[in-house]
Amino acid sequence: MDREAHAPDALDDLPKAPALATPLRATTRRALSTSSFCLGLWGALTFWMYGFGFFVSNVAVALGVVSILMGYRSGEKGEQLAWLGVLFGLTGAGAAITSYRFMQLAFEGTVPTMLP
């Protein structure tokens, strides 16, 4: 017997599941801009560890620039977290260089002439 011959069920009123879940490509694209934001924030918070904070900030800037150029957005409503990642990354890198140069000047007595 076919289903159309029967009376309607309560199950017919339930919303249908989407045909495909979120594709892996979209998840990876969102992850690039989200990781840019997270690494930028972490780099800005750990700027005083010169090697680590500076590296993490630069990775955040690189991921953020790639995400912006490729047009990847993250979040449910398409937030541009990559821009915040670049902002935090540049802030962390700038703070790392500034604190490193201040330590050289204050404790070693050397006047910095160029970046390390």
Residue 86 resides in a domain: yes
What is the number of structural domains in the chain?
1
Q: How far apart are CA 41 and CA 113, in angstroms?
A: 29
pLDDT at position 5, please? 56
Please check whether residue 115 lies inside any domain of the structure.
no
Give dist(CA 64, CA 93) in Å, integer.
Answer: 14
Query: Does a structural domain hold residue 8?
Result: no
- More confident of the two residues 110 and 17: 110
Answer whether residue 1 shows pLDDT above 60: no
Q: What pLDDT score was predicted for residue 52?
A: 92
Residue 41 DSSP code: H
Cα 65 off chain centre by:
10
Question: Chain-wide mean pLDDT for the chain?
Answer: 80
pTM above 0.85, yes or no: no
78 is a domain residue: yes
